[in-house]
Structure 1
């Protein structure tokens, strides 16, 4: 009933939001600062922005600067599966660039789209041939495609690595760190040529027993049956995934926003003031952020519940009990893959100690192939976006990848 109620409310509010959008556009007249018309325009714009969307925003990466050269980028679908696409950010061959190491960027499946890593992609493109796991919205996946659980996430990652081919480097951000390490271990145990040459784990919940955060405590505060009963809904009509069981993205977003509700309220107040005062560049910055933040992605119920239970409640990977299709995942099988772990000093989602735990699990990797970096002064999102990501973290990621090429 939860999703049905949300859909009804969304349908009822849609005409009002369209009207507010029209008012905002019609009354945004130059030279009307602080007049009644500008106030109406600002109010209409803010109201029309207070809405969720359910389609992936565009990555918008048309070109990147590489040295003195600006190189055009084309998004290409490299491989498509029901729940996700392997997306390739291909550089213009006419640029004549030397061959760059391929990198698979594993994006979270946690209520937002992979475009949340847009800046991560843009930065990596300077020195690498970049692919990303572009997860589909589960409400748009027909029921006939079956379920999608943690095993499927791991399987997709292995299939994507095999599609790209030998010599690929795997970079996982946040939630997929567990699946990325599992996929690497399984491929290594099989001596598969597609096992990644290097593995970078950034701010991920490898061992949530360490330094638990509020997110971790919430996950352990209720039995898994409570999560299934209270947070899982069926997709309503008219969506393609009608009757699929999902963890709705709007529920996840509500939880995130409630943690910093005052900050979000202030952002929309600032948006109103910026429009009212004609400071449109500042207004556009806020609008751009919320276009991404309010684009929500439903999770398949199986994946969500298995992640909560196996990653956050029973810590299966950390205690040696994670299984893939009945087969135990053994991180000690990883031998030839270089390992870099990255954590943020102020991360209140994956705290210090949770990601570096992978270093002990991968006990067969030689010490000279292991590196760990703690970035001072950044929270969770600062690990993979922002100034310190670009200036301090990325150079270490790049150096770890390139050092493993020899």
Structure 2
């Protein structure tokens, strides 16, 4: 019912949005003398703020048409190399200069948590000059017909295993936030089966491996409610005329409202500042606001079965760190991982996945050799800064690339090359050391996706 009401309100506001857009165009037209006055810019700014605050934001494009390799600009083309109803794998094919090395093959597993894979546009852009980049492009559940079947956490893990098998053992996996758990689970299952196609390394970034450590507001909500509360309050059928009509989903707009409510004052201030930038004709600052919110406000629905299983497994029962997670009846045992290098990355100010939640992977993967594992905690960044922004480009990305180059397929060590993006910054306060390797198995006693 709430989803239908949301759709109705959106449709009802369409005439007002069209009128606001016409007002904006009229008062910002350079042929209109009023457009150059404070009054004209104020009216145009108010109209734009209203229109942008009430529109539905569609799936953005990556828009990465070129990159620079060895100082030479080259074209970039998107190619779908693997496809299923709920996910495509996109390769950013570069026209490499003659003699240029492709670099490590990186599969970025984007979060399936309400935002599109384009949230990692900056992550892809940073890695493109130095690596062969692929990314999982998860589908909006409201766009997938019921005839295509269901999709839960077990299906998610099956997808990852199939992708790893297709891409081969020279693949380096980057899991950003939510997929840290299913990526670790998929690799553990493959190792237990003796698969020859396990990735060379996995980099887990700001992920909810063990949400009992430094729980955030997101974690505490899951602790306070049982799974029936989530089923009764946030699961809704997709309304007509969407292709996924009648599919049970966790709507993207609910996920977005939850995230925005955590920092509501910051978003209100950002829109007030946006209004003032428009009035003052500060085009650069206004454009940065548009770029950020065009991405942030574009949301997708999650299937109910995936959302509920993830909440229960990861955030309520903590099955993985307790040694009780199962995939289609098969125990997920991270201690089986021996050939896949492990890098964990956290942000000091992360308010989605608290400090220590990702590092917990080292306590589970006890049989990875010490020289094939490392943990890094980036000072002065929040959740978003773990995978995007200036500190990611200058301090985190070089470490990731060096780690991948130092851990090729099959665990065959090579000399550590010079940093590709920039010289890695010297360890700063808060940088964690490598955890010591252990041979014992983790105890079996007794994050919604972010």
Q: TM-score range by the shorter chain?
A: over 0.9
Residue 310 of structure 1: aligned partner: 313
Q: TM-score, normalised by structure 2?
A: 0.88
Q: Establish whether residue 92 from structure 1 lines up as the match of residue 70 from structure 2.
A: no
Q: Establish whether residue 390 from structure 1 lines up as the match of residue 393 from structure 2.
A: yes
Residue 214 of structure 2: aligned partner: 211
Residue 9 of structure 2: aligned partner: 9
Change over 3 Å in CA distance of 1:52–1:403 after alignment to 2: farther
Q: Establish whether residue 37 from structure 1 lines up as the match of residue 35 from structure 2.
A: no
C-alpha separation in 2, matches of 1:52 and 1:397? 38
Change over 3 Å in CA distance of 1:231–1:400 after alignment to 2: same
Residue 224 of structure 2: aligned partner: 221
1:52-96 deviations in Å (ceiling 9; x for gaps): 535320011111223311121111111111011111111014555
1:292-329 deviations in Å (ceiling 9; x for gaps): 01101101101111111100010111111111111111
Q: Establish whether residue 236 from structure 1 lines up as the match of residue 236 from structure 2.
A: no
> Once superposed, what is the RMSD of the aligned Cα atoms?
1.3
How far did residue 265 of structure 1 move? 1.1
Count of aligned pairs between the two proteins: 406
Change over 3 Å in CA distance of 1:7–1:87 after alignment to 2: same
Unaligned runs of 5+ in 2: 414-450
Query: How do 1:88-127 and structure 2 match up within 5 A?
Result: 88-93=91-96, 96-127=99-130
Unaligned runs of 5+ in 1: none
C-alpha separation in 2, matches of 1:190 and 1:386? 38
Q: Is the CA contact (8 Å cut-off) linking 2:168 and 2:199 kept in structure 1? A: no
C-alpha separation in 1, matches of 2:404 and 2:220? 34
Residue 56 of structure 2 is aligned with which of 37, 53, 57? 53
SS at 2:345 equivalent: strand
1:118-162 deviations in Å (ceiling 9; x for gaps): 111111112111111101100000011111111111111111122
C-alpha separation in 1, matches of 2:98 and 2:13? 48
1:2-53 deviations in Å (ceiling 9; x for gaps): 1111011111112221221222123213473344332221111111111353
Q: TM-score, normalised by structure 1?
A: 0.97
Residue 379 of structure 1: aligned partner: 382
1:345-385 deviations in Å (ceiling 9; x for gaps): 11111111111110111111111101000111111111111
Residue 82 of structure 2: aligned partner: 79
Query: How do 1:355-370 and structure 2 match up within 5 A?
Result: 355-370=358-373
SS at 2:92 equivalent: strand
C-alpha separation in 1, matches of 2:296 and 2:334? 34
C-alpha separation in 2, matches of 1:15 and 1:162? 50
SS at 1:340 equivalent: strand
Residue 354 of structure 1 is aligned with which of 353, 357, 367? 357
C-alpha separation in 2, matches of 1:12 and 1:340? 49
